[in-house]
Amino acid sequence: MILTAALNALYRLPSPEFRSVLWKSLGLTLLALIALWALARQFFFWLAWPWFENMLPAMPDWTSWLGLFAAIAAGFVLALLLAFLIAPVTALIAGMFLDDVAEIIEREDYSNEPVGTPMPVGRSLVYSLKFLVVVILGNLFALLMLLIPGVNLIAFFIVNGYLLGREFFEFAAMRYRGEDGAKAFREENRITVFLGGLVIAGFMAIPLINLLTPLFAAAMMVHLHKALSGKKPVTRAPCARLGTRRSNTFKLEHNFTLN
């Protein structure tokens, strides 16, 4: 069920229906990251660099190379900061388009079912900010675990798998069940939701590709929610088409045997 949902979500990402949402999300994310990089760099040279320069005159001449070293170190720290900000910034930007993603999946792949109810604008903004906080806290915890050999990678997947699975599944379920119903349904299927979250965490661990994590996660959890609700995709889902081909192959082989 989880693999099917993931494959169907991957199949949908490059589709024409998804393309508009995809480019808007990526474009705004890159603009936000560039703006944050510029602000962080400006803040460093405004606040930290003058303090460092004031220290240099008191040092011997042979330590002049420290200025170059400090500039390189500052660039490295800013790059690490930007890498850390990718996940939360992507989550915040893509959070504006989650209902668009869900509606595309519901209309295209479940055309025989009613489309879910999108969240109100205010509630959607609150949900995006909540998800932003969740992602930041999860990644801060995972970064702290980097200091513990043998635990860091496991911590990253467990923490992000739980948080991402919970938040994205509840988002997909709320379109049909309301907030309380979505939480109750997620609790009933907590193991499946957690395993689905591990798949999303694995997707998020891939550099550059992780910019697509919120869109992939939203699409995957819509499919997973539908599957747990007993619904099957009726159009363009690759796993459904695969099942049809297998069924047709079986019929041909059966007819050949009878003849």
111-159: per-residue pLDDT in tens? 888 888 887 777 777 777 777 777 677 667 766 766 676 676 777 788 8
Number of domains comprising the chain: 1
pLDDT of 132: 72
Q: Which two tokens stand for residue 112?
A: 């025989």
In a domain, 160, yes or no: yes
Rounded CA gap, 259 and 241, in Å? 27
Report yes or no: 159 and 142 within 8 Å, Cβ to Cβ. Answer: yes
In a domain, 177, yes or no: yes
- pLDDT 10s digits, 53-104: 565 555 555 445 555 566 666 666 666 666 666 667 766 776 777 888 888 8
- Inter-axis angle of helices 2-12 and 213-228, to 10 degrees? 130
Rounded CA gap, 90 and 211, in Å? 6
3-class SS at 231? coil
In a domain, 155, yes or no: yes
In a domain, 102, yes or no: no
- Inter-axis angle of helices 152-188 and 190-204, to 10 degrees? 140
Mean pLDDT, residues 202-220 taken together: 83
Q: What is the DSSP letter of 115?
A: P
Bigger pLDDT: 109 vs 231: 109
pLDDT at residue 241 tops 60: no
pLDDT of 114: 85
Question: What band does 251 get if pLDDT is binned at 50, 70 and 90?
Answer: very low
The rounded percent of the chain whose pLDDT value lies above 70 is 67
Rounded CA gap, 104 and 121, in Å? 18
In a domain, 71, yes or no: no
In a domain, 64, yes or no: no
Q: What is the DSSP letter of 236?
A: S
What domain range includes position 165?
149-231
Q: What is the mean pLDDT of the chain?
A: 75
Question: What band does 30 get if pLDDT is binned at 50, 70 and 90?
Answer: confident
In a domain, 164, yes or no: yes
pLDDT of 84: 66
Mean pLDDT, residues 150-176 taken together: 83
- What are the backbone angles phi and psi of residue 234, rounded to the nearest 5°? -115, -15
Question: What band does 193 get if pLDDT is binned at 50, 70 and 90?
Answer: very high
pLDDT of 252: 36
Bigger pLDDT: 217 vs 37: 217
pLDDT of 214: 80
Question: What band does 249 get if pLDDT is binned at 50, 70 and 90?
Answer: very low
Question: What band does 236 get if pLDDT is binned at 50, 70 and 90?
Answer: low
In a domain, 205, yes or no: yes
Kind and range of the H or E run holding 196? helix 190-204
pLDDT of 54: 61
